[in-house]
Structure 1
Amino acid sequence: MRISKDNVIYSMDKENQAVGTIRSGDQVIFETKDCFSDTIKTESDVISEIDFNKVNPATGPLYIEGAQPGDVLKVTINAIKLNNHGVVVSAPGLNKLFTKGIEKEQTVICPIHEDKGTFEFQGVEFPLNKMIGVIGTANADEGITTGTPGPHGGNMDNTMIAEGSVVYLPVYTEGALLAIGDMHASMGDGEVWGCGVEAGGEAHVTVEVMKDYPHSVPLVETDEAFYTYGYGKTTDEAIVIANDHMVEFLMKEAGLTFNQAGMLMTIKADLTACQTVNPDASMRVGILKEFVELAKNFK
């Protein structure tokens, strides 16, 4: 199934009407707009001119047959295909990390060369690190804007959500109502200036319904590691949730005690900012699978 980028939402809400239905195990292509709804087309276009009610559109939502509250949605990122350009902007108020402030608006258009695995920024080629910023299901209660991270996933801005990764998401409502958007050609952890190389394109995914999944979600799995996720009004709040979920994960996955899990984390897990510039922050804790396996031998 292909879902057109004409079908977008700005809030992940159980009241949204699904634009398509699939069965567990089906493959889907989500066509996505960039986070500015494709409105910035030239370097003379600036962010102050866009409609902020249409920021971070997510394509969908998609109804998955058999998905019921309490289940987990397993989303495998098979491929990310980007359009031929991305956008980076600078503007006053775009981030909260620089005390000197941004005094001048600027837009840079970045040509993207998928065939070479590069993008151009200010005339210099850099390697792509393609990732999905917004991926989530309908929230349990009231809708949450697509620009906000939360228990449903949403605007996680986690650079580990890349080609080959698996994202585990909670199901709060019948059909799950999955939506995806806000892809990047490149973004540094923390997204410190307010945006990455924002790009539209296609997310090719496989979606499966998991019954009785044992771990707290959202959770990201790569070939090498597991990543728990936290969110909050402050980075401290987000850190606490991400840490709590990693402790729970290690206790279940490796059979560790609470203290063993915490001590393993402090010597071999990495705490990393996903996004720290928006009103709500997102953080992650990652641990290599090899250390999880070794920990199963703890006495």
Structure 2
Amino acid sequence: MPKINKGGIGMFISKDTHFFALDKTNLPVAQVSLPCELTFETLDCFSEQLNHPEDTLEILDFERVNPATGPVFLNGIKAGDVISVTIKAIRVKTPGKMVAAPDAGVLGSLIKKSETLIIPIEGDIAYFKELQLPLTPMIGVIGIAPQGVGIPCGTPGSHGGNMDCTLIKPGAILYLPVQVDGGLLALGDLHAVMGDGEIMVSGVEVSGEVDVTICKVGNLEISNPVVQTEKELAFIASALTLDQAIETATIEMAQFLTSRSSLSLNEAGMLMSACGNAQICQIVDPLKTARFSMPLSVLNELRII
């Protein structure tokens, strides 16, 4: 059962209340009224099955991959609403884990044997062999229940899910289009460090805790997740190919600009080509995820946000 959190903020949602598919039939572990503050405790993406270098992907129970903690029922939230999830803090736990395996990830065709790397974390540093990597914690899996059939936590989509977007980090605000009453919010798959693309199917995978503030958002219509950081606003999309994902994210950004400013479509497109960025989130999941971002400084000058 949820409990009051002594280390984070608001109600504490234990990692014991996890599942492996975002599904409207999942029973909520808590009900909250918005705005609210919550702390989610998470398992790592392997459900903590890999704890030693000899624990390679061959021993992994893939039915227990990418657990998400939750779900939480949001009182008063209806299908068609938009919620914001502000990431207040991410506290990662040591050690981190990374894997390499034949046929896994972009380099999979070149890899001859499986390997697991256990990565100590001390303070704000992850120790990758002799290298010291500054922590850049982020959330890999976060989303709400889809309107249709359940979707495995390892697959991204319009509901969120395994987007592996490095912008979903402390200080960011994630906007999610709600598909079922109550939303059924959940999250997991934390990374201590991860590069855009997650080319080897894992970042530095960790368990940990995430503090969030959840609110209902008015005057915003979106079809896919949107994330705002201190410097940029990004539309996120997932599809069978990166080309399709980037096209969707780009079109949705253009529609956002033209609907909230006096820019024509031609002008919006040229502005996006001048100062926007088409970027990869991940290229290793069943659907690929990309984003199109614009500088907040430009959007503020246009008085769009």
Instruction: Give the TM-score taking structure 1 as reference length.
Output: 0.95
CA contact (8 A) 2:82 2:221 kept: no
Distance 1:138 1:107 in 2: 32
User: Does the CA contact (< 8 Å) of 1:254 and 1:292 recur in 2?
Assistant: no
2:163 maps to 1:148: no
Cα distance change on mapping 1:6 and 1:200 into 2, 3 Å:
same
CA deviations on 1:196-238 (whole Å, 9 max, x unpaired) are 0000100100011223424443100011110001111111111
Pairwise mapping of residues 1-299 of structure 1 onto structure 2 (< 5 A)? 1-95=11-105, 97-98=106-107, 100-113=109-122, 115=123, 117-295=124-302
Paired amino acid for 1:110: I
SS at match of 1:154: strand
Deviates more, 1:101-110 or 1:155-164: 101-110
Map of 2:6 onto structure 1: none
| Structure 2 unmatched runs, 5+ | 1-10
Whether the aligned pair in 2 keeps the contact of 1:157 and 1:274 (CA below 8 Å) is: yes
CA separation in 2, counterparts of 1:112 and 1:175?
A: 37
State the secondary structure of the residue aligned to 2:254: helix
CA distance 1:211–1:66, shift in 2 (3 Å): farther
Amino acid paired to 2:58? S
Per the alignment, in what secondary structure is the counterpart of residue 266 of structure 2?
helix
CA contact (8 A) 2:45 2:188 kept: yes
SS in 1 for 2:243: helix
Q: Aligned with 1:149: secondary structure?
A: coil
Contiguous gaps of at least 5 residues in structure 1: none
Contact 2:91 2:210 in 1 (8 A): yes
- Partners of 1:138 and 1:212 lie apart in 2 by 22
Q: 1:100 to 1:144 in 2, by over 3 A?
A: closer
Judged with a 3 Å threshold, the aligned counterparts in structure 2 of structure 1 residues 107 and 99 are, in CA distance, closer, same or farther, namely: closer
The 8 Å contact of residues 43 and 67 in structure 2, kept in 1 or not, is answered as yes
Report how far residue 295 of structure 1 moved.
Answer: 4.2
How much has 1:99 moved relative to structure 2?
A: 7.0
Percent sequence identity over matched residues? 40
Q: C-alpha separation between the residues in 2 aligned to 1:105 and 1:70? A: 44
Superposed displacement of residue 256, structure 1: 2.0
Contact 1:66–1:209 under 8 Å retained in 2? no
Please give the alpha-carbon distance, in whole angstroms, between the structure 1 residues aligned to 2:58 and 2:113. 11
Conserved? CA contact 1:255–1:296, under 8 Å: no
Distance 1:42 1:123 in 2: 18
2:8 matched residue in structure 1? none
Between the aligned partners of 1:197 and 1:129, the Cα distance in structure 2 is: 10
SS in 2 for 1:241: helix
Looking at structure 2, the residues matched to 99 and 196 of structure 1 have their Cα atoms a distance apart, in angstroms, of 15
Deviates more, 1:204-213 or 1:65-74: 204-213
